[in-house]
Structure 1
Amino acid sequence: MSTMPLPAKASLSQLRARAKDLRKAVSKGRPDAIERAQAHHPAYGDAGSFTLRDAQLTVAREYGVVSWGELMARVATELVEGRELHRYFGVELNNETWDLLDQIDETSPVLDQERVLYGAYAACLHWLEAGNEANHARGEHLIARVAARIGRADLALPHARRCLQLIQAHPQQMSDWDEPFAREALARALAATGAVTEARAELQRARQLTELVADSGDREVLEKELAKEPWFGLSS
C-alpha cells in the first residue's frame, strides 16, 4: 500500500474537504474513489456504508498516518508555529464537530457519540481561552445541538440556556443570527424533556428572528437547521 507526503502548507480544512469529496465519490460508485478506499481503509465494506469517518480514516492512511486524529495533530504541529493555539483548535474542532453532527444519533456506537460530544466541549474550551462571549455562546450552542442529537436532553438544556444567557448579556458582540440559533437549540432541548408548550414558544421565536436576519445566506443556513431533525415530536 503506497502512501504520499502531506502537501506543503496543508490545512485541516483542505483535508476535511478531501475526505468529504472522497465520501461523495464513493457513495456515487466512482471506481477510482472505491479503489482508494479499498487500498487504504483497513475494513472497507461497501459504498453504501462508507461514512465521513471512514473517508477521514482513508485520507489519513493515504498520507501514511494511522488515524484521522493523528493526522490532525501532525498538521497542527506543522502549522501552528507563530499562531495562537487555542484559536486554531477552536476553529478546527468546531468545524470538525459540525461536519460529523449529522452522521450520528442516539443509535450510533457510544464511542462515536462521545467523540463528537467531547469535540464540542473541547471547541468551547478553546474559545473560552481565545475568543469572546460570541464565540463562547456559539460553543454552548454546539454542545446543546450535539447533546440533543445523541439523546442527552439532560446536557442539551443547560447548555442551550447558557447560550441564550450569553447572547442576551452581550448583545453588542453578537450577530443577528446568534439569537435565532440559540432559540432553535433551546426549543429542541425543551422538546426533548417534554416541555412542549415552552418548546413551541421558543421555536416560534426562532422562526420570527430568522425572518429578521439581514443576510439571505445566513437566513438560508438557519432555515436549513430549523428543518433538521430531531424535534422529538415537535413540528419544525
Structure 2
Amino acid sequence: MAIKPLPAKASLSQLRAQAKDLRRAVGKERPDAIERVRRQHPAYDENPAGFTLRDAQLTIAREYGLASWPELMEKVATELVEGRELHRYFGVELNNETWDLLEQIDENSPLLDQERLLYGAYAACLHWLEAGNEANHARGEHLIARVALRIGRVEIGLQHARRCLELVQAFPEQMSDWDEPFAREALARALAAVGEPVAARAELDRARELAGRVAGEGDRKVLEEELAKEPWFGLTTP
C-alpha cells in the first residue's frame, strides 16, 4: 500500500482541512473518496452517513503511514516546534480539534469517544497553562465546561464554568470583550443542567447583554451563534 509523504512544512490545520474535505466527499458518496477509506479504515461499514470526522482523521493519518491521528499530530508538531512553543502548538491544535468534535459526540456516544473529547479539552487547557496567560486559561476552562455538559458530566461542567468566570473577573485586563459573555453562557448552561433555572436565566440574560456590546462584528456573530445552540437543558431561549 503506497504511503504519501507529508507536505513540506505540514501543519495540523492543513491536515484537519484534508480530513474535513474527505468527510464531505464521503458524505456525497464520491467513489474516489470511498475507495480511499476502504483502503485505510479497518472498520468502515460502507455507511457514508455515519462517516465521522474522527473516521476521516484516521484515514488521513494512515495515508501518511501513521497508525492514528494522535501519532500524526505528534509527528507534525515535533518537526515544527520545540519547548514552550510546543505547548502553544498543542494548545491551539487540541482546542480546535475538540471544538470540531463537540457537536458530533454527546452522552449517548461510545464511552471512549466521550473520554477522548473530555481529555482533549483538559489537555488543551494544560498546554495553555504552560504557554499562555490567564485569558487562555479561562478559555480552556470554558471548553472543558462545554464538553463536560455535552457528555452529561454536569457537576464537572458547573465547576469549570465557575472557574472560567472567576478568571475572567480576576484578570479583566487580559481578556477580550467576548470572554465574559462566553463565560456567562457556559455558566448559564451549567446552572440549567443542575436544576437552577432562575440563576441560569440571570446568567443567560447577562451573557446576551454583554454579547450586544462586543465590538467586532465577527466575534459578536460567533457569540450569537453559540448562544443559539443547544443544549440548554430546558431553559427556553428567545
For normalisation by structure 2, the TM-score amounts to 0.96
Kindly state the Cα deviation for residue 79 of structure 1 after the two structures are TM-superposed.
1.1
- In structure 2, the partner of 1:33 is 33
1:16 aligns with 2:22: no
What residue in structure 2 maps to residue 88 of structure 1?
A: 89
Listed as ranges, the gaps of 5+ residues in structure 1 are none
State the Cα distance separating 1:64 from its structure 2 match.
1.1
Q: Deviations over 1:47-67 (max 9, x none)?
A: 011000000000011111111
In 1, Cα distance between equivalents of 2:154 and 2:55: 28
* Runs ≥4 residues deviating over 3 A: none
How has the CA–CA distance of structure 1 residues 197 and 182 changed in structure 2, closer, same or farther, with 3 Å as cutoff?
same
Residue of structure 2 equivalent to 1:221: 222
Asked whether 1:125 is paired with 2:119, we answer no
User: What pairs up with 1:185-200 in 2 under 5 angstroms?
Assistant: 185-200=186-201
Counterpart AA for 1:139: G
**CA spacing shift, 1:114–1:82, aligned 2, 3 Å:** closer
The change in CA–CA distance for 1:83 and 1:14 in structure 2 (over 3 A counts) is: farther
In the alignment, structure 2 segments of 5+ residues that lack a partner are none
Secondary structure at the residue paired with 2:225?
helix
**Identical positions, percent:** 78
Question: Is the aligned partner of 1:79 residue 2:80?
Answer: yes
Count of residues in correspondence between the two structures: 236
Letter of the 1:117 partner, please give it: L
Cα distance in 1 for partners of 2:151, 2:83 equals 37
| Offset of residue 30 of structure 1 | 1.8
| Aligned equivalent of 1:6 | 6
Show the counterpart of 2:177: 176
Provide closer, same or farther for how the CA distance between residues 81 and 162 of structure 1 changes in structure 2, counting only shifts above 3 A. closer
Counterparts of 1:52-67 in structure 2, within 5 Å, are: 52-67=53-68
TM-score, normalised with respect to structure 1: 0.97
State the AA in 1 paired with 2:144. I
